[in-house]
């Protein structure tokens, strides 16, 4: 791995602080957020990894069911899975609060979710749930209890696991001969194009490209047969994978197309990443200038969506509560808490909290359309948004 980007010292992204922790001046854990490119594997990853146990514990705050965009995307995919693959047994790695599995017959799905506060949600709804980390021991346990699975799905999870060899070895072990693996994660190409450097934080160990995925799965005799571009999480890719030995499924032209696009963008070359670094540094300067200008006019600025992504941005750009008064968010486990590092307060979302606000920083820029639709009144009254994607600007 060769380093191309330094985003400074950062707190652990999803560790929102309670009032008591702030009062007691709780010492937060910081790590050096550096990002590198591996010329051999074509993988892009953060260089200093935080152990999984420190991140995915019994009080993990992220809930995928909190966003309509995500639940609708899962619903659409579920229909497609039933229609096209009609699997007898589905395994979801990183099932979160069950927003995908709720679309399936309970007897046909197995959930894997190491965060116990989330695993309990699907367990209580009657889904077979393993509150454990995905590895070969768990794969063995599941196989002995349920035999092989014929569809494995994992969204925004595999990029959170450092040891990809263990991930794919375990998948390989449990997937039936004609089984299908579907992975979806933020797209590195979209991240580069949008200068979305906030896709990097301690949990996002990798931001995948097709180039990187192809390299790793080939080691396990797995093969891509289709890819789909998604709007979720600021531009994601859904990878459809089968065993190389399974010749019943034809390889869609989309695979070649995406590969071509990535090569055209020179994603296999280090130079592309060093150029990205220059864009990130420029983005920081421009965002700081916008905040400075608006604040000088004594305008009230708040944040919308206290995302893990905005933790990277605010800490990297050194924007604190003197500038951004508070965040609003709908996630119960985040609200009435404080942002890691910057200690900006997170209010429970209520429309009236926007009444005297002049500018809103789009922490959840990936839900821009959903938020704009919801906040028509704010926009009508002359309220403005600040975003750093793809270049810092006021909307």
| Positions that interact with ligand TYD (CB under 6 A) | 62, 66-67, 305-309, 329-331, 334, 349, 364, 366-367, 370-371, 374
CB of 142 to ligand TYD, least distance (A): 27
Q: Which residue is nearest to ligand TYD (CB)?
A: 305
73 or 258: CB nearest ligand TYD: 73
Distance CA 195, CA 180 (A): 33
CA distance 234 to 317: 20
- Rounded to an integer, what distance in angstroms lies between the CA atom of residue 130 and that of residue 339? 30
- Residues 101 and 87 sit within 8 Å (Cβ to Cβ): no
Helices (H), the chain: 19-23, 52-55, 68-80, 116-124, 136-146, 164-174, 188-193, 210-218, 253-264, 270-296, 308-317, 368-374, 376-380
Going by C-alpha positions, the residue among 346, 325, 351, 344 that lies closest to residue 334 is 346
Report the nearest approach of ligand TYD to the CB of residue 21 (Å): 19
292 or 332: CB nearest ligand TYD: 332
Query: What is the number of other CB atoms lying within 10 angstroms of the CB of residue 143?
Result: 14
Residue 154 beta carbon to ligand TYD: minimum distance, rounded to whole angstroms: 15
The distance of closest approach from Cβ of residue 10 to ligand TYD in the complex, given in angstroms and rounded to an integer, is 13
For ligand TYD, which is the closer residue by CB, 179 or 363?
363
Nearer to ligand TYD, 72 or 165 (CB): 72
Kindly report the backbone phi and psi dihedral angles of residue 304, in degrees, each rounded to the nearest multiple of 5, phi listed first: -120, 115
Distance (Å) of CA 277 to CA 243, 269, 287: 37, 14, 15
For ligand TYD, which is the closer residue by CB, 209 or 307? 307
Kindly tell me which of 15 and 243 has the beta carbon lying closer to ligand TYD.
15
């Amino acid at each position: 791995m060769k380093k191309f980007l330094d985003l400074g010292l950062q707190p652990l992204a999803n560790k929102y602080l309670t009032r008591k922790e702030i009062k007691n001046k709780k010492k937060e854990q910081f790590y050096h957020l550096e990002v590198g490119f591996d010329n051999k594997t074509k993988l892009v990853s953060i260089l200093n990894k935080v152990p999984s146990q420190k991140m995915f514990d019994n009080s993990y705050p992220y809930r995928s069911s909190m966003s309509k965009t995500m639940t609708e995307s899962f619903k659409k995919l579920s229909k497609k899975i039933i229609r096209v693959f009609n699997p007898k047994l589905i395994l979801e790695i990183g099932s979160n609060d069950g927003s995908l599995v709720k679309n399936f017959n309970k007897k046909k799905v197995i959930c894997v979710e190491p965060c116990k506060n989330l695993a309990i949600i699907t367990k209580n709804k009657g889904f077979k749930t393993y509150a454990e980390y995905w590895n070969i021991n768990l794969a063995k346990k599941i196989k002995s209890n349920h035999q092989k699975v014929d569809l494995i799905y994992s969204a925004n999870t595999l990029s959170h696991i450092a040891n990809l060899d263990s991930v794919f070895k375990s998948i390989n072990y449990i997937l039936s001969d004609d089984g299908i693996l579907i992975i979806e994660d933020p797209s590195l190409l979209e991240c580069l194009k949008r200068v979305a450097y906030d896709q990097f934080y301690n949990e996002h160990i990798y931001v995948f490209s097709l180039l990187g995925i192809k390299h790793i799965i080939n080691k396990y005799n797995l093969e891509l047969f289709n890819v789909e571009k998604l709007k979720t999480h600021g531009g994601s890719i859904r990878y459809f994978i089968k065993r190389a030995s399974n010749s019943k499924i034809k390889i869609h032209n989309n695979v070649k197309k995406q590969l071509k696009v990535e090569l055209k963008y020179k994603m296999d070359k280090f130079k592309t990443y060093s150029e990205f670094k220059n864009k990130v540094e420029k983005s920081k300067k421009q965002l700081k200038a916008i905040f400075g200008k608006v604040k000088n006019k004594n305008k009230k600025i708040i944040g919308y969506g206290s995302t893990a992504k905005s933790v990277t941005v605010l800490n990297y750009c050194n924007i604190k509560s003197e500038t951004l008064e508070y965040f609003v968010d709908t996630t119960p486990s985040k609200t009435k808490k404080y942002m890691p590092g910057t200690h900006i307060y997170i209010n429970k979302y209520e429309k009236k909290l926007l009444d005297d606000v002049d500018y809103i920083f789009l922490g959840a820029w990936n839900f821009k359309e959903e938020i704009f639709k919801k906040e028509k009144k704010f926009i009508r009254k002359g309220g403005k948004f600040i975003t750093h994607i793809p270049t810092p600007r006021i909307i």
